[in-house]
Structure 1
Amino acid sequence: MGAAVSSSQSVLRALPFIAISLVVVVDLVSGPGLGFLPLLTLGPTFASVAGAVRRTALVGALALAICLPLSVYDGLFGRPQNNLTIAAIVGVTAASMLASRLRNRRERELADVRAVAEAAQRVLLRPVPRRAGDLRVALSYTSAAAEAQIGGDLYEVVTTPEGVRILIGDVQGKGLEAVETAAWVLGAFREAAYDEPELSGVAERVEASLGRQLSGEKFVTAILAEVHEGEISLLNCGHPAPLVLRADGTASFAEPQEEALPLGLGALGSPRPKPHRLPFGDGDQILFYTDGVIEARDREGRFYPLAERAHLAWGDDPQAALDDLRADLLRHVGGPVPDDAAMLLLRRHPG
């Protein structure tokens, strides 16, 4: 992708000179009388697309310098028609310089916004530990927007006195409002994960925090998990069921025993279900993901078959295996994913 962007920029930078050269060639081949000289204004116009103000001015000066001998060749020098062409080149060059200055200003502002977004990402979505107790952890985050760094998907892995606790979730909505909600969820989880002895207590703390912050019917689907000796506890709050990959090669979705509302909808009165436990022994894996993974479609409208591609999650290195799964997801879509897609893979490492 970087090579393609660099190639496009090179073409844009060469485009003003290509346009001026073509005008010169066509004018010389066509001979006097057809009047191609006004097309020299294409030079400074194209220069403003990718060049700085000074470069745009130089291209305009080049177009004006070429216009003078060509006007002599065409027999137009000193005529009102040629004077209008010269005025047009000067006017278009001045307008292009202004457009270039405004574009450069917007690019600087966008660069500042991206820097702030990257700083927010480091605070909001901190790097997860690659090892936590006897667990190996892999993470993949694919943004729906090529330039985006953060969105409404969230994740966290913390080691507490009660064991390793995990959170993965998806905030309803998009944009800065979704990022703000994700920050509330992660802040409440990070605090409660260390304080609450039970996983259900962690969920209640996050629910209480969202109840104070959210308005209307906004919500967050999430899974809270806690790893025990030989087991894993799952508390599913309206989120897609994780995929359990057994050491013997079998795979199945860990559907919740009780239906639960997403976080943020506690005011509707539905009781929070208790976590359910699953065997989770040496060599077993569990893949948490957001709906951007299973709702990704190919060009024929077919959803990504996660269960069929589960074999890609096996490998000596969990991160490399998850990277292979992400690459397969992007191949299935054939372009950018329509929604943010986060995946978190836990592997219980023997020994």
Structure 2
Amino acid sequence: MLRTDTGSPGRILSLRRRLLDVSIPALVAAMLAAPGPVVAQAPDAATTQGEGAEAVPLPASRPDEGDADAPGADSPSSASSDDDKPAVAATAAASAAPPPSPESDEAATMPDPALTGEEAAERPVTAIPLPERRPAGSAGAAPAAPVSAQPDERATPEELRAREPAITPAAAVEAAAAIADARTCEAELTRRGVEYTVGESISEGDCGVLRPIDLDRLSSGVLMSQPTQLLCRSALALEIWMTTSVVPAAKTQFPDDTLSAFRHASTYVCRSRSSGSRISEHARGSAIDIADFGFASGRRVGVEAQEKGSPEQAFQRSVREGACGPFKTVLGPGTDADHATHFHLDIAARRRGGTYCK
């Protein structure tokens, strides 16, 4: 019983009413102003001691909370320990917060805003909600790759010619540079003694040849059996290959004969590749197909497979190997069925200036 100087029971009753009038409204106001859930606690024992004093009621436990989750629940003195009060409040706040969304990457790493460092350390691991595991394969999934064109979807020559290339200022700059390079190349052909003529540029949609070269005779004296329509750089590659590889190989394998001419199967043709949807290098004047070589005696050495161990086979192997360098692409018998009877040579640019000789 609370004692006063007078010891009057009326004074005790008045004091108890005053205590209740002050404590309960203050407690309600504090609960409403708090940012998170608040666990009501009994008033300080120093101001409420007294026999018959009414205890402030505590809110009931949440249905999904158990005493086993609260820190110190197994200890009888945990309810009155000041050190355990922050942990109890933190547990209640964490239970009221919604679980982090598994769709957010930040949810798995953001700390609980209701916990301080010490409180998080004291809180049982089983009481901390963890985000759901992301489904396997969902992180960093690559977009679907575009479907590549099938061989039977390649454009026809008519479709290639019908396309209109975009003539932009940037394309005009590249065209001006290409014209300047073509004139430099033509000057080199002239310096070497190659006989040729320059035709009108061909423009047919996606196909065309800039200042096509029609070769008549190479510097070695070898004649062209048919007219050509080649980019100057392709004509120059042909001149270099014939001078450095073909003529020397002919002299080695056929010392009593002289290489006089060669026949090609095609130069410029507006078409797609035989296998695939990409445009052919023939449609740019970059490629030439070699059919056979002619000698002064009337001998003709074709590109198809020759008798094993024969001079023709040795000549064929030598000139094929020598083409890889002046030309960036060399295909022939053994590559595929499309090149079983001719050499395909072109100057298409490849990565790091490499070659594809097969």
Structure 1 and Structure 2 fold alike (TM over 0.5)? no
Higher helix share: 1
Q: RCO higher in 1 or 2 (8 Å CA, sep ≥ 6)?
A: 1
Q: TM tier, shorter chain? A: under 0.3
Higher strand share: 1
Scaled by the length of structure 1, the TM-score of the pair is 0.22
